[in-house]
Amino acid sequence: MRAGVKLAFVSAILIATVVLLFMGTAHAQDIDCLECHEDVVFDSPAHPDVECYECHSNVTADHEGDDLEPLTDEDSCVNCHSRTLREIGRSAHNGEAGCNDCHGDPHQIHEVAHLHSATSAANQIRTCGGCHDTEEMPLELYVTSEHGRAVLLSGLASAPGCSDCHGAHRIYPVENERAPTARANSPEMCGNCHAFLLDEWQTMSAHGMVWTDGEEGPVCVDCHATHDIVDPTTDHSRLASADNCGDCHEEYLTTFRDSFHGKATGLGMSQGAVCADCHTPHKNLPASDPRSSVHPDNLIETCGACHENANENFVAFQPHNDPTNPDDHYAVYIIWVFMTSLLIGVFAFFGIHDLLWLQRSWVGLKRGEFDAEKATDGQWVRRFNMTNVRTHAVIITTFLVLALTGLPLKFSGAPWAQTLMNLLGGVDMARALHRIAAIGTFGYMLFHVGNVAWRWIVKREKGMFWGPNSMMPQPKDVKDFVANIRYFLYLGERPQGDRWTYFEKFDYLAVFWGVAIIGVSGLALWLPDVFTTFLPGWVLNAAHVIHSDEALLATGFIFFFHFFHTHLRPESFPMDTVIFTGKMPLERFKHERPLEYQRLVDNGELENYLVPPPRPRQLRRAYIWGAIALSIGIALAIGIIWALLSH
CATH code of the domain in which 370 resides: 1.20.950.20
Q: Are residues 353 and 400 in the same domain?
A: yes
Residue 540 falls inside a structural domain: yes
CA distances, 466 to each of 193, 291, 459, 461, 486 (Å)? 80, 64, 17, 11, 26
Q: Which amino acid makes up residue 131?
A: C
**337-363 burial string, b = 16+ CB within 10 Å, else e?**
eebeeebeebbeebeebbeebeebbee
Q: Provide the pLDDT for residue 455.
A: 86
Q: Is the pLDDT of residue 27 over 50?
A: no
Q: Which pLDDT tens digit goes with each residue over 365-398?
A: 888 777 766 777 788 999 998 999 999 999 999 9
Q: Say whether both 617 and 485 belong to one domain.
A: yes
Assess if residue 8 is contained within a domain: no
Distance, in Å, from the CA atom of 460 to the CA atom of 468, rounded to the nearest integer, reads 17
Q: Are residues 518 and 621 in the same domain?
A: yes
Q: What angle do CA 547, 549, 552 make, to 5 degrees?
A: 105
pLDDT tens sequence across 399-439: 999 999 999 999 998 999 999 999 999 999 999 999 999 99
Measured N-to-C along each axis, helices 250-257 and 235-246 cross at an angle, to the nearest 10 degrees, of 130
- CB-based contacts of 608: which residues, under 8 Å, 6+ apart? none
Q: Give the count of beta carbons closer than 10 Å to the beta carbon of residue 295.
A: 15
Instruction: Report percent pLDDT > 90 for the chain.
Output: 37
Domain end marker among 109, 143, 174: 174
- Helix or strand run (H / E) with residue 382: strand 380-382
Whether residues 496 and 575 fall in one domain? yes
| Mean pLDDT for all residues in the chain | 85
Residues 173 and 485: their CA atoms lie apart, in Å, by 75
Residues 191 and 152 in one domain: no
Do 221 and 100 have their domain in common? no
Residue 191 and residue 158 share a domain = no
pLDDT tens per residue, range 253-297: 999 998 889 898 888 888 888 988 899 888 889 999 999 999 999
Q: Which of 148, 174, 200 is the last residue of a domain?
A: 174
**Of the residues 225, 260, 293, which one is the last residue of a structural domain?**
225
The residues, any chain, with a CB within 8 Å of residue 570's CB and separated by 6 or more, are: 358, 361, 362, 364, 365, 370
Q: How would residue 30 be classed by pLDDT, with cut points 50, 70 and 90?
A: very low
Q: Which structural domain, as residue segments, surrounds residue 201? A: 182-225
Do 413 and 341 have their domain in common? Answer: yes
Q: How far is CA 106 from the centre of its chain?
A: 52
Cα–Cα distance measured from residue 412 to residue 390, given in angstroms and rounded to the nearest whole number:
33
Lay out the sheet containing 583-585: strands in order across: 583-585, 380-382, 610-611
pLDDT of residue 29: 47
Whether 30 is covered by a domain: the verdict is: no
Co-location of 407 and 295 in the same domain: no
Sequence-separated (6 or more) residues with CB below 8 Å from residue 394: 440, 443, 444
Lowest mean pLDDT, pick from 9-18, 48-57, 290-299, 406-415? 9-18
Number of domains into which the chain is organized: 4
Q: pTM score, two decimals? A: 0.79
Q: Is residue 440 part of a domain?
A: yes
**Does residue 381 sit in helix, strand or coil?**
strand
* pLDDT band of 15, cuts 50, 70, 90: low
The reply to whether 195 and 127 lie within a common domain is: no
Q: What is the pLDDT of residue 12?
A: 56
Identify whether 313 is part of a domain: no
Write the CB contacts of 104 (distance below 8 Å, at least 6 apart in sequence): 117, 118, 127
522 assigned to some structural domain: yes
CA 121, CA 124: separation in Å to the nearest integer?
5
Domain membership flag for residue 104: yes
Q: Is the residue at 391 inside a domain?
A: yes
Within this chain, do residues 523 and 567 fall inside the same structural domain, yes or no?
yes
348 and 299 both lie in a single domain: no
